[in-house]
Chain A
Amino acid sequence: GAVVSQHPSRVICKSGTSVKIECRSLDFQATTMFWYRQFPKQSLMLMATSNEGSKATYEQGVEKDKFLINHASLTLSTLTVTSAHPEDSSFYICSASNRHNQETQYFGPGTRLLVL
């Protein structure tokens, strides 16, 4: 149980384009989903927290207009990196928690983004 998937696993795009990353909880309903970013040899940095049907809460320093988050259902959240630039190249990882165990986060496999 508690399986989280992400799509795509890897994406290469040109500077200025937008990229959408999907995060799905496959066998449970995710009341909350989290989006993290991880640069090489660094720890996970929380970008935003999203609850189904409500606006995402962004961490300090994360531009909400650049990183658009939609959590339309209890099993799907999307992160769109708008007008991506090379400095946005990173490993983006989502996690999800369920209503029965809200403190435990289960991570998706991550999406590696490379912006040329």
Chain B
Amino acid sequence: QKEVEQNSGPLSVPEGAIASLNCTYSDRVSQSFFWYRQYSGKSPELIMSIYSNGDKEDGRFTAQLNKASQYVSLLIRDSQPSDSATYLCAVDPGGNDKLIFGTGTRLQVFP
């Protein structure tokens, strides 16, 4: 069973702080990793993709991938109340472009 695990939260951080969201996956051959943001009642919105070990930065977002530990994370710097949403980690196990989603971590940024 290919799985993607996330802590459901909620993760509460004050405005301006760094929010750290974590995800582990079980299929060692996975090659592609994605973070999506989903506001309540809305569909997921792609934030970042990462394919290689290390860090990838895009604005206030940094994705970190460690394939040896089967671990991918998302850091949000200078968190804003508008960042409050559920963050979904998705993994492509490889070969057919299907994504396996985690259950998501709910982030709450309070003023």
Q: Which residues of A contact B103 (CB under 8 A)?
A: 42-43
Q: Are B97 and A103 in contact (CB under 8 A)?
A: yes
Query: Cα distance A107–B32 when bound, in Å?
Result: 17
Q: Are B98 and A46 in contact (CB under 8 A)?
A: yes
Q: Which residues of A contact B92 (CB under 8 A)?
A: 103
Q: Are B42 and A104 in contact (CB under 8 A)?
A: no
Q: Are A103 and B49 in contact (CB under 8 A)?
A: yes
A97-115: which have CB < 8 Å to B? 97, 102-110
Query: Cα distance A110–B42 when bound, in Å?
Result: 7
**A-contact 0/1 string along B67-111, CB 8 Å cutoff:** 000000000000000000000100010001111011110000000
Cβ-neighbour of B32 out of A46, A49, A103, A109 (below 8 A): A103
Chain A CB within 8 A of B45 CB? yes
Q: Are A109 and B42 in contact (CB under 8 A)?
A: yes
Most buried by A among B36, B97, B98, B103: B97
**Interface residues of B toward A: which range?**
10 to 19
> Smallest CB–CB gap between A104 and chain B, Å?
6
Cβ-neighbour of A107 out of B45, B96, B98, B104 (below 8 A): B45
Chain A CB within 8 A of B25 CB? no
Q: Are A107 and B44 in contact (CB under 8 A)?
A: yes
For A110, give the chain B residue with the smallest CB separation.
Answer: B43
> Smallest CB–CB gap between B59 and chain A, Å?
18
Most buried by A among B32, B42, B46, B99: B99
Chain B CB within 8 A of A34 CB? yes
Kindly list the 5 A-B residue pairs having the minimum CB-CB distance in the complex, ordered from nearest.
A110-B43, A43-B103, A107-B43, A103-B32, A44-B101
Enumerate 21 A-B pairs (CB-CB under 8 Å) in ascending A order: A32-B97, A34-B98, A34-B99, A43-B102, A43-B103, A43-B104, A44-B88, A46-B99, A93-B44, A97-B97, A102-B97, A103-B32, A103-B49, A103-B92, A103-B97, A104-B49, A107-B36, A107-B44, A107-B46, A108-B43, A110-B43
